[in-house]
Amino acid sequence: MDYSKVDKSFSEWANCLKLLIQNDYKGDEVRSVDIFDEHNQKWQLWLVPVNESDKCVIHYWNYSDISRHVEVDNSQLFDELSAIGENVKNGTIPKAKLP
């Protein structure tokens, strides 16, 4: 997977929140962070670039019963990550069971 189109925005966003980016998971290249909500519940957020386009998918879940994803243009990645991060931290993600 080619992360070159998303690395700059993802790194800038993660640095603003002092989040540690994971670049490897079991030998596979990834881009993910853990973020905590107002109740100190851990969430994972990760990116999946859409090959041959200027889009990526942002996935996030609470390691339990809430999972979401959104496809965004790379040019809007920082703003979308900021909005998702605020919603996670403030606990304003609607509850819905995993399919």
Contact 25, 33 (CB under 8 A): no
Residue 76: what pLDDT?
A: 95
Beta carbons within 8 Å of 97's beta carbon, 6+ residues apart: 65
- Tens digits of per-residue pLDDT, 1-31? 789 889 999 999 999 999 999 999 999 999 9
Question: Nearest CA to 59 among 51, 50, 49, 70?
Answer: 70
Alpha helices by DSSP H, 37-94: 77-90
How many other CB atoms sit within 10 Å of the CB of residue 72?
A: 21
Beta carbons within 8 Å of 15's beta carbon, 6+ residues apart: none
- Tens digits of per-residue pLDDT, 76-95? 999 999 999 999 988 887 66
Q: Provide the residue ranges of all domains of the chain, joining segments of one domain with +.
A: 7-88
What's the whole-number mean pLDDT along residues 44-61? 90
Tokens of 32: 């993910």
